[in-house]
Amino acid sequence: VVTPLNIGRASSRRLLEADWTVFGLDVAATRLGAVAGEFASYQDRFRPVRCDVADAASVVDAFAAIGAAVPALNALVCCAGVLRTGLMAEMPVAEFDLVLNVNTRGTFLAAQQALPLLRRGASPDNPSRVVLLSSLAALRPKVVSGAYAASKAAVSQLCRVMAAEWAPSGVLVNALAPGTVDTPMVQ
């Protein structure tokens, strides 16, 4: 049996296997607890932090807690996302807002709040890194995925602007645009 992993959990596992300390952010406390249990063998290097990326105050609080725990960050992976499908003519405004608030605004908020810690972790020989999750949908939208495609196109553009603005301070920003990945969100 193959259990689909979300991208954040899979990324966390790879970083933990490479001896990184990982702060895992998620809106669902039960999911955070399950992932923390799964990563128990990594001792105290996986640190769960409850955070709703669509809520600015929650993001500020989460990164304040991270900043209190460590002096700097070496990397940030922004991969929180939601998918709501429907024809644009029929999509409820609340669902459209949810997709944009989590996928685009949440990415912006997390990156913005992490930036001071990332700058502190950067050096000329070893810049800090930001990886944003865009999507192939940003380039090739499909019928019924308009809100998702728009949110990911915005993430791609945010990446370009952040990359230009933040590179001089030693923070490199890139985006990945995967196709469909077998994750619980897609299922």
Q: Which amino acid is at 152?
A: K
Residue 62: both structure tokens together: 């989460």
Bridge pairing between strands 46-50 and 128-133:
unpaired
148 is catalytic: yes
Q: Which of 22, 148, 150, 183 is catalytic?
A: 148
Sign of CA dihedral 68, 11, 128, 149: negative
Helix (H) or strand (E) holding 77: strand 75-78
Q: How far apart are CA 62 and CA 156, in angstroms?
A: 24
Distance CA 126, CA 48 (A): 26
Q: Just list the catalytic residues.
A: 148
